[in-house]
Amino acid sequence: MRLKLFLAVALVIAGACDADTFTGDAGGSDTGPDVPAIGGGDGGSADGAIVEAGPKRFCDTVDAQFCADFDIPGDAGAGFEAPTENGGWTLDFQDAQVKSTPVAVEIDTIGDAGGVASMRTLPLSPDASVKSVLVAEADLFLPDAAPATPDVIMVFAAGSLPAQQFLFGLAEQSGLWSLAHITSLVTKPLNPKPATNEWVHAIVSVDMSVSGTVTLEVDSSVGKSFAALSVATIPDGGAPGYLGVIQVGSSDGYDSVANRTFFVDNVTANWQ
């Protein structure tokens, strides 16, 4: 059962019809606001009149400044701007491969065709005093890294969007899973190699100060894999501002050579 992001296709979830809007839902038929509340409260109704029975959604169980589990009936893309898709690359909401039921995001890239399939959150401001470290987490289902992917194929990233993109995250390139800077394509392979073809948990920590660092930790069945980059070594690095953004998906202006499919679920973010 699949919902294309740009099509209104009926999908029955918890008794509701999922017709994702990617817009504000004040007074709308969705069961929650598009921009999740602090504390992971993106699953309650806007007026408090609707109380859903049954197990809690993932975002009802975590304390986060931003949370998206893609499980809001009628608005699976809550908290994200409208996606960008071209070149045959697609982002879908689907229920066949998920970390928390009922829905997760599927990212499909097409071999021998450059394209884009990505969506980003609205800007995330620090929730209290000025802070410079944005920590984003997500559950990811990763295939074996393909040798025939010479370009960086980003799956999940965090950072900010000044004039030049200051985004870092988990990427596939030339048979390795790595921490990558999305603009300069600077990469650092994870050590040890994370397990694949299973759900793993990724944490991206971006210190946006001039002397900051970026770290990526992936927890899988082989244990914890780690990589780090110094912000000072990034061409456009250094204090780009403190409005954060989370990105799911990737883009590649050149042929990606191999067809790739990734899955993303349970995205959270906090300023520290």
Helix (H), strand (E), coil (C) string for 78-105:
CCECCCEEECCCEEEEECCCCCCCCCEE
At residue 2, the pLDDT reads 40
**Phi and psi (nearest 5°) for 232?**
-60, -20
Q: Around 210, how many Cα atoms within 13 Å sit in the side-chain half-sphere? A: 0
pLDDT tens digits, 151-186:
888 999 999 877 567 889 999 988 899 999 987 878
What is the average pLDDT across 199-212?
Answer: 90
The closest alpha carbon to 79, from 134, 135, 28, 119, belongs to 119
Distance CA 237, CA 160 (A): 11
Q: What is the pTM of this model?
A: 0.80
pLDDT of 110 over the 90 cut: no
At residue 44, the pLDDT reads 37
- Choose between 240 and 30: higher pLDDT: 240
CA 174: distance to chain centroid? 22
pLDDT of 203 over the 80 cut: yes
pLDDT of 95 over the 80 cut: yes
At residue 9, the pLDDT reads 31
Own/partner long-range contacts of 29-33 (Cβ < 8 Å, ≥24 apart): 29/74, 30/72, 30/73, 30/74, 30/75, 30/78, 31/72, 31/73, 31/74, 31/75, 32/72, 32/75, 32/78, 33/78
Using CB atoms within 10 A of its CB, is residue 170 exposed (0-12), middle (13-18) or buried (19+)?
Answer: buried
At residue 52, the pLDDT reads 54
**Phi and psi (nearest 5°) for 111?**
-65, 150
Q: Are 218 and 170 in contact (CB under 8 A)?
A: yes
Q: Around 137, how many Cα atoms within 13 Å sit in the side-chain half-sphere? A: 16
Q: How many helices (H) and strands (E) does the chain have?
A: 0, 18
256's tokens:
């990606």
Q: Are 71 and 58 in contact (CB under 8 A)?
A: yes
Can you give the three-state secondary structure of 139-164, one letter per residue? EEECCCCCCCCCCCEEEEEEEECCCC
At residue 250, the pLDDT reads 87
At residue 12, the pLDDT reads 31
pLDDT of 45 over the 70 cut: no
How many residues are given for the chain?
Answer: 272
Distance CA 67, CA 156 (A): 14
What is the average pLDDT across 225-230?
Answer: 95
pLDDT of 54 over the 80 cut: no
